[in-house]
């Protein structure tokens, strides 16, 4: 087996995957071993900027290791782009799935801010509206 490296793969299915990979060349039919593969897609905003959309390559799987035969790959390139690698690592550290729950998901609690009833919030907003109307 070869060394691990960060790689971008273009598959025959059209998907572009970023993953930490290793190539197993022990037999005549090499296999690519992917660890935590993700799909990265650039999305253009209305203002002309770009956003990066990241999602797991196989969304419903709890596995983090996958195997692909070389005939399913159009091209692959090693990446040493620090920003891209940091994006990948940040995603894995903050948003990967543990069990059936997203690690980066925030659960609401009372310490996060004000909690009010609908009636109290309505009265508060009415008072603000009345104060602004009188000014």
Task: Using DSSP, state whether 40 is helix, strand or coil.
Answer: strand
Q: How confident is the model at residue 8 (pLDDT cuts 50, 70, 90)?
A: very high
Q: How confident is the model at residue 122 (pLDDT cuts 50, 70, 90)?
A: confident
**CATH code at 5-100:** 2.30.30.100
Report the alpha-carbon distance of residue 90 to residue 31 in Å, rounded. 27
Residues in the chain: 135
Task: Using DSSP, state whether 121 is helix, strand or coil.
Answer: helix
Report the alpha-carbon distance of residue 66 to residue 87 in Å, rounded. 20
Q: Please state the domain extents for the chain.
A: 5-100
Look at residue 73 and tell me whether its pLDDT is greater than 90.
yes
Q: pLDDT of 10-41, one tens digit each?
A: 999 999 999 999 998 877 788 999 999 999 88
């Amino acid at each position: 087996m070869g060394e691990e490296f960060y790689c971008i793969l273009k598959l025959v299915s059209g998907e572009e995957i970023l993953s930490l990979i290793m190539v197993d060349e022990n037999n005549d039919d090499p296999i690519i071993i992917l660890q935590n593969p993700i799909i990265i897609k650039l999305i253009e905003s209305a203002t002309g900027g770009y956003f990066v959309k990241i999602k797991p390559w196989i969304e419903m799987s709890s596995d983090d290791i996958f195997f692909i035969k070389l005939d399913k790959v159009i091209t692959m390139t090693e990446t040493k782009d620090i920003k891209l690698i940091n994006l990948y690592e940040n995603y894995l550290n903050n948003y990967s799935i543990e069990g059936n729950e997203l690690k980066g998901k925030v659960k609401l609690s009372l310490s996060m801010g004000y909690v009010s009833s609908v009636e109290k919030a309505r009265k508060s907003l009415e008072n603000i509206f009345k104060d602004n109307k009188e000014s």
